[in-house]
Amino acid sequence: MGSAVPPLYLDACATSPPAPAVLEAMAEVDRNAWANPSSLHGFGLAAADVLERSRLRLAHLLGCDSEELLFSSGGSESIHLALLGVAASLPAGRLLISAVEHPATVAAADQLHRRGWEVCQLPVNALGQVEAAALEPLLAPPTRLVSVIWGQSEVGTVQDIGTIGALCRAAGVLLHLDAVQVVGHRAIDFSALPVDLLSFTAHKLQGPRGIGALLVRRGVTIQPLIGGGGQERGRRGGTEPVALAAGMARALELAQERLEAGGGCDPLMQLRDDLLAALLALDGVHLSGPDPRRGEPRLPHHLSLLITDRAGKPLEGRRLVRELWREGIACSSGSACSAIQPTPAHAPAGGASPVLLAMGLPPDWAASGLRLSLGPWLKGRELERVPAALERARTRMEG
């Protein structure tokens, strides 16, 4: 990596740098409310007050009751708690997940399968969308639970939750949303969403690592995965991380302020669209997933590309990521959470993305994905260097 310019971080879908205001909020709590919030003395009561104030702030921003929000260690735990916790209170039945789910959802589904549940994978179209025609007939018994990723982390697809939720409600089937990539980039009103459970995490929106949350509709029963002291209304044991909760609340407040400043839209969308236009002007650069130029629903901070050499042969995405880092550009070839997992025997060979394969791409193209995801720390002029950096990286790969 060259030293002439500072590195450029374009991997917000993997994680995001904590905002300075978030770090300040957590530091203040660590100084003044560091105690166990379950303790009955004054130190503990001070911590409990901060914890519940953070919960109330988050609930207000998300349109839910504070009793419907429980803290977890992050998105993966929230997803597991939603699926395994609900399933533990139901007779074994059928779980539906889409073919483009996050590895955490796939892992939770595998556990349910080993416990006697039938797991059915919903196909998606070329844009990565679940279609109502495929979903509706599968909602008949014994289906009891559906889990859908609202904003797909690899290709940016935003699912039609209104339609999916209405079909699930009509069938009496519980619906869980993986909203990890959505919260912070659009306004959330849980009270108006046709869903029963919603997972998210703090570190995708410039909050701290190690904390997330699960929204649980009043009346939905979940069994804890972690026992202990009865924290989180008996739904998740363990001493709550008070400073992290305060940091998550501050991060969501900052995100909400940006949305309001943009008239309800994420201001990153314009940066994303400008960068997309510049990159698509290069030969051999193709957009994967929904096309925002055609009004197709896509995460506002997200770009996913397929890259070829000048002869039209797809280039390996992971190698391209390494070459771009030599240019000072930090990005991804897909889900950061799946890239470090041991490769299971049934996984596609050659680095092909299961998400891109599910969308109908051939294996060589499915291994050429490149993801650029933006955050509020970026300015427009910083992104002007990206197309030339991509050209240099691609030239080295062809050499």
Active site residue 120: no
CA distance 7 to 1: 8
Report the relative pairing of strands 174-178 and 143-149 from DSSP bridges.
Answer: parallel
Contact 155, 359 (CB under 8 A): yes
The single residue of 64, 265, 331, 337 carrying the catalytic annotation is 337
CA distance 342 to 211: 25
- Residues that are catalytic: 337
